[in-house]
Amino acid sequence: MLTVKTLSKGQIVIPAKLRRKYHIKAGAELHILEYGGMIHLIPPVPDPIKAAAGCLPKRPSLAKKLLKDRITDFA
């Protein structure tokens, strides 16, 4: 167990060993959870939907393709 001191504004310094282990960079946000008389600092998990956005190649939408086929069928 590591011990840290609080600063005048209630701030704490997370030891470098833990920052490296959990990939906490300067300016990173942490969730604070109080549970069972303890305070937990939790690094947020990236949103998998936002992380996946843009990873697929751009393709014409199925609706546009169907509409184009319909127009040629009735022309």
pLDDT at residue 6, rounded to an integer:
92
Q: Which of 24, 37, 66, 47 is closest to 12 using CA atoms? A: 24
pTM: 0.53
What percent of the residues of the chain are helix, what percent strand, and what percent coil, each to the nearest 5? 30, 15, 55
For residue range 21-69, list pLDDT tens digits in order: 988 899 988 989 999 999 999 887 778 787 777 777 777 788 888 888 8
Phi-psi region of 35 (alpha: psi -120 to 50; beta: other; left: phi over 0): beta
Q: Name the pLDDT band for 7 (thresholds 50, 70, 90).
A: very high
Q: In this structure, what token pair is assigned to residue 14? A: 């997370």
Residue ranges covered by each domain of the chain: 16-74
Q: Is the pLDDT of residue 2 over 90?
A: no
Q: What is the pLDDT of residue 42?
A: 87
